Amino acid sequence: MNTIFDLAQRITKVEHPYIKNSLTNLGIVTDIDLEDDLVQLEFVWPFPNIPIREELIASIENVVNDLGFKLSFTERIMTPQEKNEFLVLEKSGWKGKPKA
């Protein structure tokens, strides 16, 4: 039986495709909670209409599903302070868009 520890350990390893950092370290995935077989978390976007929104959600959903759980999430836009912290990490870890 997988636990919240197993879940958190796997989710914290999911990297942003263009930034050498995890979605949790970047502040994009927060407030992870597990109740029965339902994982609840929050996606926090640096700005509206993120072009890779679906890709980022799918990267977390794949981990959740692989562990036998279901995903439920809320979304919001980062506060100015959160966005500043994100931008610092983005700049220091930028690896660019992967080549097709």
Please report whether residue 19 resides in a domain: yes
On the question of pLDDT at 99 being above 90, the answer is no
The CATH number of the domain holding residue 46 is 3.30.300.130
Considering the domain boundaries, does residue 68 fall inside one? yes
Q: What share of the chain is helix, strand, coil (3-state, %, to 5)?
A: 35, 25, 35
Report the pLDDT value the prediction gives residue 2, as an integer from 0 to 100. 85
Residue 60 is part of which domain span? 4-83
Domain count, the chain: 1
Q: Is the pLDDT of residue 76 over 90?
A: yes
- Given a contact cutoff of 8 angstroms between Cβ atoms, the answer to whether 11 and 20 are in contact is no
Residue 41, domain member (yes or no):
yes
For residues 78 and 80, give the distance between their C-alpha atoms in angstroms, rounded to a whole number: 6
Per residue in 23-75, pLDDT (tens digit) is 999 999 999 999 999 999 999 999 999 999 999 999 999 999 999 999 999 99
Here the contacts of 55-58 (C-beta below 8 Å, separation 24 or greater) are: 55/17, 56/16, 56/17, 56/23, 56/28
